[in-house]
A and B are shown apart, each in its own frame.
Chain A
């Protein structure tokens, strides 16, 4: 297990956003987290990546306790996230966006020399298909390219585990396929991936195992087929939609 989450609880005032959730992610897999709106997916994500401190529970990454560790430390250890609402450094060039990750994780004074750093950044941009835009300001990119820049910037930290928060959100089907292609390539290069997604097509296509959250609790875990046949999942997640339609 590359990531182990044990009994994590996160409260906001009286609201329990994440309630005693435990799961594990195996090295090399693509693991999906789904659930209806407000199920606590993003909160769980923020807890794992160090943006929130859990009220109780333990998180281990590569066997090491990382509960409450700061996000920048986690990125250096090899656990990096992206954002549902993409946060490119709009006023900086695409290349500089990626270089920041390299400087931040490899060191500003030590680390790679400038030529190596730029070479590495360009390789990553090539990998996500953005090399031709490297001189452009990030604010000039359309939404689909910003999503790929977001992934490139995360990859530049050399993650062992990449956590993607709705990487296909707000994309056209064509853009979505491009992003998913990148995600598959990332996994092939040996990086473990955790995805939160709303889009069922994406999740069912790309994930090997899926966990379902509802009202902050884990209600199921298994392969895409198991999940799509699970009674409770259908009731909680898919069911509400069928119910509305019938």
Chain B
């Protein structure tokens, strides 16, 4: 199917098995570590989903937080106003994010480079302003507290961090595995050909606009689902999750991690989130260090953390 052979599945699959085994005991480290890991995992999926656009298709997006927020608000409002079960609502939130992805993706098909970056930035700002101003629906800047948690299954209560952790873990590994397979599939190769040269791709028969739209749909869907899980985990959301700053935060995970590698953005999410936690005590200088780090990585290691890790592994082997 889609050119994904059994070999590819087993080759990638074993890494996910290892990751699963390593991540299962995390809750033993206590509530704080569990909490941080949950957030890292939700960011990791969002950053990896953005990589499909930025790293594989060559479509820069500075508005990805908007899709995360659309997912979060959709699932929340469905649950609170119509009593839709969050298990379904989260999925519908992903679909709604894809609808928004379509609204942004189709008209901006012809835009490239900085034009696309700024058009996505503008789209993100518009979504943010809508969340603030449509206060009859979203309660405006105050945000929505008291979001219902994921409904329990039998004796399992997902208000507990540990229980939620395993939901997030399953979601994260499955999502990233699916995205990873996508990049190894025929679709992935076609998306890469668009990144490398749109005109050349057209000339060998690639329906470039159609595949760009696919990339938008897939990427925004996973961002939307992450947003939904986030909402039902923290049980409070506000327009803050859709700001330009938040979009830039996600984009820097993707790029600092190493765009076009899928696993790089996951590393980026982990490193940047942990950095935020570690620098908490240097509150004042936190962003000074963060900004400096971005500049240094871009200047000296443009292939990102993934590139650095590969470089070190190669040295070690030698």
Interface positions of A (Cβ within 8 A of B)? 49, 51, 70-72, 75-76, 80-83, 87-92, 96-97, 99-101, 103-105, 108-109, 114, 117, 153-154, 156-157
Contacts and interface: CB of A to CB of B under 8 A. Distances in A.
Interface in B185-211: 186-187, 189-190, 192-193, 195-197, 199-208
B28 interface: no
Given A89-B192, A108-B190, 7 more contacts: A75-B204, A88-B200, A89-B193, A91-B196, A104-B207, A114-B5, A154-B203
Contact of A92 (B2, B189, B203, B206): B189
Interface of B: 1-3, 5, 186-187, 189-190, 192-193, 195-197, 199-208, 260
Nearest 9 pairs of A and B residues by beta carbon:
A75-B205, A87-B200, A104-B205, A89-B196, A101-B204, A105-B205, A104-B206, A71-B202, A103-B186
B195 A91 contact: yes
Given A103-B186, A103-B189, A72 B196 contact: no
Given A99-B189, A100-B190, A100-B201, A109 B2 contact: yes
Given A75-B203, A156-B204, A89 B3 contact: no
A99 B207 CA distance: 15
B204 A105 contact: yes
B3 A153 contact: no
B227 to A, nearest CB: 29
Nearest to A104: B205
A45 to B, nearest CB: 11
Contacts of B187: 108
Q: Is the interface of B mostly helix, strand, loop or mixed?
A: helix
Given A87-B199, A99-B189, A157 B2 contact: no
Contacts of A71: 202-203
Contacts of A100: 189-190, 193, 201, 204, 206
Nearest to A150: B200
B204 A157 contact: yes
Contacts of B195: 91
A147 B208 CA distance: 23
21 contacts: A49-B203, A72-B207, A75-B202, A75-B203, A75-B205, A76-B205, A81-B203, A88-B196, A89-B193, A89-B196, A91-B196, A92-B196, A100-B201, A101-B205, A108-B2, A108-B3, A108-B186, A109-B1, A114-B3, A114-B5, A154-B203
B200 to A, nearest CB: 4
A51 B189 contact: no
A186 to B, nearest CB: 16
A83 B198 CA distance: 13
Contact of B204 (A80, A91, A96, A114): A80
A44 to B, nearest CB: 16
A89 B197 contact: yes
A153 B190 contact: no
A72 B202 contact: yes
B24 to A, nearest CB: 34
A105 B203 CA distance: 11
Contacts of A109: 1-2
Contacts of B200: 83, 87-89, 153
Q: Which of A87, A156, A157 has the most CB of B within 10 A?
A: A87
Contacts of A72: 202-203, 205-208
Nearest to B214: A108
B3 A157 contact: no
Nearest to A96: B189
A189 to B, nearest CB: 18
A154 B200 CA distance: 10
Contacts of B207: 72, 104
A154 B195 CA distance: 18
A153 to B, nearest CB: 6
Contacts of B189: 92, 96, 99-100, 103
